[in-house]
Structure 1
């Protein structure tokens, strides 16, 4: 994050602008500020101040919800990496980093796990290969949980690791197109198909969240749809090791 001083008048203007934003626009502007190194605080404060009435459209419009929560997750990741890097570097990363409060929305302190697994993935545990529900999800997560999760969101969420997909700022009116773009770019960069061996090597997230993609057949269908394997191919799946080395600021060009 930038440490440069901001003139008082300019800071006031940013706060006033944040106050006029609806939640989806506020999340988008938050991630844009994180990318450019501007102060995220006005947008963080506004997200925390919304009441649940303001968030009501997220419960009925999947496009709004996907854009909002993807931008919140990616901004939250970058803010945690910037402000509390020791959590990621800790051996207990999976509890301390992913379980720490990343940002506050409508008064609810949310971790990355709460956003990803409690809301975006439809209240599914991060264990169990994508087949098991998350039985201990809180009221807030259950209220905003997506009823029909889009597996392409796995190619939109960035947790700070080198193997993660690039970060994009998502717009509700273009979310389907943007998720297609993110999916194609990630698969192009990470999938290797060996027709002679009848094997396709895919990122580890296809194992961790196998159920989200509809099992092996669903994964192969996705790979065919995005041209990662030929339309008539049905290769065995091999999973590439995940590189957890820290890679902050991995924004798409």
Structure 2
């Protein structure tokens, strides 16, 4: 009987941990026919690089106006500019990405789509203490891409993660304190490589991680998506060391910090 109870407790605990760790990746892996080219296919991507141009200038202006340098967001300010945000969202939703789009254009489009609709989600539920308080935040298919409906989790898992670019995890923002910050400029195809490098390096060296030579307490992002960072046989320590100012020893102890889901609202 004791064994049975113990097994049940372990099962429930494991399920709770799984649900928590996969909260933002619970939307499945169905790309719904939308393109997800690998960023590693350089020759193909370069050939397409000038094929499509999506204008993200309106989003750029909104970000510069309502997002601080530290990534904290003035959601009340965004509410006052609701009409402009809606105009940008409508423009994005009228787009229908296809195989003529370069990987760079798609990355910028999907990242901006995710971030802009996350702000939209918060505004539609404002005031809110945490995005976790919103039912179906990552699983509800409230986003239109052409005639396709998709969720925030679908954009992340079914589109961006399939493009074999782990740095996207530091570009998308889930409106929470522990998330990589929402940068106050739009991602664009010509600048996407530079932007991804900047946000990754900044996040790794920020207070979202506690890194020393012999140990590292990393953001839970590195735990939840470890497979993305270690694909191809690269160790997690090797990946972090590419960007960290403090290099972690190969045999260092790795643990993960508790995630703060409180809203990233500028006070």
Does TM, scored on the shorter chain, surpass 0.5? yes
Counterpart Cα distance in 2 of 1:88 and 1:178: 29
* 1:81-120 CA distance string (max 9 Å, x none): 0112478757665x61112245321122221111001100
Moved more, 166-175 or 236-245: 166-175
> Residues 241, 25 of structure 1: CA spacing in aligned structure 2 closer, same or farther, 3 A cutoff?
same
TM-score of the pair, normalised by structure 2: 0.64
> Residues 91, 105 of structure 1: CA spacing in aligned structure 2 closer, same or farther, 3 A cutoff?
closer
> Residues 217, 228 of structure 1: CA spacing in aligned structure 2 closer, same or farther, 3 A cutoff?
farther
> Residues 201, 42 of structure 1: CA spacing in aligned structure 2 closer, same or farther, 3 A cutoff?
same
The structure with higher relative contact order (CA 8 Å, sep 6+) is: 2
C-alpha contact 1:63 1:175 (8 A) present in aligned 2 = yes
Structure 2 equivalent of residue 7 of structure 1? none
Uncovered stretches (5+) of structure 1, i.e. residues with no partner: 1-21, 123-145
Uncovered stretches (5+) of structure 2, i.e. residues with no partner: 1-50, 66-77
From 144, 156, 162, the counterpart of 1:116: 156
C-alpha contact 1:47 1:105 (8 A) present in aligned 2 = yes
Structure 2 equivalent of residue 45 of structure 1? 90
1:161 corresponds to 2:204: no
C-alpha contact 1:87 1:97 (8 A) present in aligned 2 = no
Structure 1 residue 245 displacement after superposition: 0.7
Structure 2 equivalent of residue 192 of structure 1? 210
Counterpart Cα distance in 2 of 1:176 and 1:108: 28
Output the aligned Cα RMSD.
2.9
- State the aligned residue count: 196
* 1:100-142 CA distance string (max 9 Å, x none): 24532112222111100110011xxxxxxxxxxxxxxxxxxxx
